[in-house]
């Protein structure tokens, strides 16, 4: 493996536990009036956090910033519901959820849409830490996280390369 590029595979069980841990960490900051999931990665943790914190108003914002494994320009594909934007401006507690904050570019765009909202992610990288209010696990900037929806069960060669 190239030491400049590390991989961090996350199983469904681990992601569920980490998302529940995020909900525990957010408990003291609520109650929240609405959750906005950043699609697609924020959909699963947003559902788990919403269940754990009993939040019923859930919206999503679709922001595309990754092109395969390289970050590109930011493109807003679906904006936040205007009622939630108005609620946030009126002082209601809105929580933005994503799976990961990487460079912070996506988070910055969504935060501009919802000033005053809290941003929580399951995982965080150093370049994006200043954009996130709450997270569970920090990983190095050169680590690529493989989320459970990106993985399939398959044989893996032993580290030594041989099986005898």
Q: Which token pair is 88?
A: 């946030």
Closest by alpha carbon to 34, among 101, 89, 84? 84
Residues classed as catalytic: 98-99, 102
Closest by alpha carbon to 33, among 47, 62, 52, 54? 54
List, in sequence order, every beta strand (DSSP E) within 10-150: 34-39, 58-67, 70-78, 94-101, 118-124, 134-138, 143-146
């Amino acid at each position: 493996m190239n030491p400049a590029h590390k991989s961090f595979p996350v199983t469904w069980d681990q992601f569920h536990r980490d998302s529940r841990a995020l909900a525990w960490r957010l408990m003291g900051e609520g109650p929240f009036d609405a959750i906005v999931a950043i699609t697609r990665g924020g959909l699963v943790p947003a559902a788990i956090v919403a269940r754990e914190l009993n939040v019923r108003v859930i919206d999503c914002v679709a922001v595309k910033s990754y092109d395969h494994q390289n970050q590109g320009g930011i493109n807003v594909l679906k904006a936040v519901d205007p009622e939630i934007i108005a609620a946030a401006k009126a002082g209601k507690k809105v929580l933005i959820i994503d799976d990961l904050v990487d460079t912070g570019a996506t988070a910055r765009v969504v935060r501009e849409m919802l000033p005053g909202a809290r941003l929580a992610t399951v995982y965080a990288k150093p370049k994006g830490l200043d954009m996130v209010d709450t997270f569970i696990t920090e990983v190095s900037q050169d680590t690529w996280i493989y989320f459970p929806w990106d993985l399939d069960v398959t044989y893996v060669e032993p580290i030594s390369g041989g099986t005898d």
